[in-house]
Chains A and B, each alone.
Chain A
Amino acid sequence: MKIHEHQAKEVFAERGIAVPLGRVATTVEDAVAAVRPIVEESGNPVVVVKSQIHAGGRGKGRFKEHPDLGGVNVVTDGIDGGVEAAETAVRELAEQMLGSTLVTIQTGPEGKQVNRLYIEQGIDIERELYLSVLLDRATSRNIVMASIEGGTEIEEVAASTPEKIITEEIDPAFGLLPFQARSIGYQLGLEGDALKSGVRFLTALTEAAVVLDTDLVEINPLVVTTEGEVMALDGKVSFDANALYRHPAIAALRDATEEDPAELVAKDNGLSFIKLEGDIGCMVNGAGLAMATMDIIKTVGGEPANFLDVGGGADKDQIAAAFKIITADENVKGIFVNIFGGIMQCDVIAEGIIAAVEEVGLDVPLVVRLEGTNVEQGKRILDESGLDLVSAADMKDGAEKILELT
């Protein structure tokens, strides 16, 4: 589960991880009201107005409605004009940014609507670094990854100058040990107060990552201020969805407006659904088989409209919910149901399909491939139902048939 930058920074601050002062705003008035306390407390007349969406590349991103305006804006009017000038500038920015659609390299061309802004103190930056904590699947342990190339995508650094990537493995039994934190600090070129501050930062951050069950914590840039403090200028955090049950406060940070509505409905029904761009809806049991079904649709020349895994033990209601989600997509011109019944029995699936069609109707072609446990009963139930569907002998046959019909 992803959270917003401002939420990440609130979580960081609670755990002793240094972040700039900031306030979140969902209205223009709130944005303006945030300026004075931040300027007064920080002593810095510069503030930054940052779009809050669940996607990276905001600084370089541009608004559809305001093609010259970026997603992150530094307001320097306060240097000469005082707080009032800063407030006026923030008002103008907030009026344009709130409710507008920001397009970044990660949002896709459709962009994302900005519903929240984060007003943050300006920071006098001496150096920009990179830091992340993530799982290394090869060793089944978390690693700290750092680089002196702050502000650049780490993938780019890995591709062009891999020698600039520093890693330290975290033994779960010990956590990040002090000498490891110092070693990262040395390699980042930190000295004196900055080294001490960096070690504190690293220790607190890796502890937070473990305690809060994060999938990924990425600080880019991690900055060294002119005063020698190491601080998170940005913060991207995602949490292990399987561990959210033990972090109710984190789970409450979910922003449903950032998620696809159909994906949310699917989640509520215990289904795994991802919307795609094509026109052939798929309903499959099992993630691997669902991916393979999408692959074969593509192989025969079609485009899948979705990934949908109904799981191992879906009941009639879940099958019906899955059908509703698929048919609600206006792009869908046909549906391919591919089930290999193991624990899930084909007769139960067949009954679920019939119940779903009776409930939600069906105005696109339907191809069903059933195999596995109780397959004969399942096929008989579908035959006797009088439902207008086409049976497929195997996956490829099913993919070809649905393509012919759409």
Chain B
Amino acid sequence: MSVLVGKDTRVIVQGMGKTGRFHTDKAIAYGTNMVAAVHPSRAGETEVFEGETDHSGVPGRDETYRLELPIFRTVDQAIAATGADASVVYVPPPFAADAIMEATDAGMPLIVTITEGIPIADMVWAKRYLEGTATRLVGPNCPGVITPEECKIGIMPGYIHTPGRIGVVSRSGTLTYEAVYQLTLNGLGQTTAIGIGGDPVNGTDFVDCLSMFNDDPATEGVLMIGEIGGTAEEEAADWIAQNMTKPVAGFIAGTSAPPGKRMGHAGAIISGGKGTADAKIAALEGAGVVIAPTPTDMGAAMMEAQGS
């Protein structure tokens, strides 16, 4: 009834620092099945989380939570003890690629990497390491993955999401929140929202997500949010033209960006005439995608794509 994650997903956290702890707490409050943490020097300890759940006041749901999360030395040990099938990485940039490779080596099916600022060369290594394995990497430098009211892996605010029939995939963080919020306001709930991240080297791309949403019986349409730089949106357009059986709406950020300047994301640079917003919009429109003319029209564009 969703892609990548759902209510049965068992999640471990790599990187239980201040950020990791904060977001783990939010994930538990949301109802995510967090099963363990990995920390090299705190193995054997537990980390205690307690508070009011996000469903406080909703009939039939827990008002409060208290969880003693066990800490393991390695990902391998965490999987063996808990049967975890997803990991979220908050490890600081210098060590994040190593954390990804460790989880890959342990056979983790899904690794969602939130960390921003990982050296590109480290990610080139990590991608090489992932080749030929069954592990899927989402990110880095992304808000994460959420299946509303089932599983929240990452840093997105849970309350803006509503369960429903639209798949969301995006390179941006806060712009994804904007998109999801507009869908929710338009009465369009989401199956799963995936932030693939803004870095030039990332694990999962638009085509992977479009393909998953296309195969997911619960998903009836997809909203994709791209931005300037690279050619991932153009590749997505090709794939949509060839394979997509469901309506797709989109928005591309950066029509006003001057060439050669980096707009926050390392990936968002227009170089050598490639990767402009106009080229991406033309390619997607050519593939039948309804493009929102402004960022406030994303929800409306999705409605239009669905013919409603």
Contacts and interface: CB of A to CB of B under 8 A. Distances in A.
Are chains A and B native binding partners rather than an unrelated pairing? yes
B201 A292 contact: no
Given A213-B119, A307-B263, A372-B157, A287 B128 contact: no
Contacts of A371: 178, 181
B254 interface: yes
B121 interface: yes
Interface string B273-295: 10000000000000000000111
Given A274-B263, A289-B253, 14 more contacts: A135-B120, A158-B272, A213-B119, A242-B120, A245-B94, A246-B94, A286-B264, A288-B174, A292-B251, A292-B295, A296-B295, A298-B255, A371-B178, A396-B294
B116 to A, nearest CB: 8
A316 B170 CA distance: 29
Contact of A286 (B94, B173, B267): B173
A304 interface: yes
Nearest to B269: A215
Interface string A271-293: 01010100000001111111111
B198 to A, nearest CB: 6
Contact of B265 (A284, A288, A304): A288
B256 A298 contact: yes
Contacts of A298: 255-256
A307 B268 CA distance: 13
Contacts of B232: 137
Contacts of A307: 257, 261, 263-264
B128 A171 contact: yes
A252 interface: no
A289 B268 CA distance: 13
A79 interface: no
B294 A372 contact: no
B258 interface: yes
Nearest to A398: B296
A289 B120 contact: no
Contacts of A289: 172-175, 178, 253, 295
A291 B211 CA distance: 27
B272 A340 contact: no
A140 B201 contact: yes
Given A137-B200, A342-B155, A213 B120 contact: yes
B294 A295 contact: yes
Interface stretch (B78-86, B222-230, B236-244): B222-230
Contacts of A274: 261-263
A279 to B, nearest CB: 14
Contact of A394 (B121, B177, B296): B296
Contact of A213 (B121, B156, B170, B198): B121
A241 B262 CA distance: 12
A395 interface: yes
Interface string B104-123: 00000000000001111111
Contacts of A256: none
A141 interface: yes
Contacts of A340: 174, 177-178, 181
Contacts of B120: 135, 213, 215, 240, 242-243
A292 B178 contact: yes
A395 B178 contact: yes
A210 interface: yes
Interface of B: 22-23, 93-94, 117-125, 127-128, 143, 155-157, 159-160, 170-178, 181, 198, 200-201, 225, 227-228, 230-232, 235, 251, 253-258, 261-268, 272-273, 293-296
Given A137-B201, A172-B128, A291 B294 contact: no
A342 B121 contact: no
Nearest to B258: A276
A300 B144 CA distance: 32
Interface residues of A, number: 55
B296 A288 contact: no
Nearest to A290: B264
A395 B295 contact: yes
A242 B93 contact: yes
A243 B93 CA distance: 9
Given A287-B264, A342-B156, A295 B181 contact: no
A142 B119 CA distance: 14
Nearest to A342: B157
Given A288-B173, A294-B257, A396 B296 contact: yes
B119 A343 contact: no
B264 A342 contact: no
Contacts of A286: 172-175, 264
B157 A288 contact: no
Contact of A309 (B157, B171, B264, B293): B264
Contacts of A185: none
A245 to B, nearest CB: 7
A234 B122 CA distance: 28
Contact of A240 (B119, B143, B174, B253): B119
Contacts of B200: 135, 137
Contact of A342 (B177, B230, B296): B177
Nearest to A288: B172
Nearest to B123: A140
Q: Name, among A288, A304, A341, the residue most crowded by chain B CB atoms within 10 Å (CB to CB).
A: A288
Given A288-B175, A312-B155, A173 B121 contact: no
Shortest 6 CB-CB contacts between residues of A and residues of B: A288-B172, A287-B264, A286-B174, A288-B175, A243-B119, A292-B295
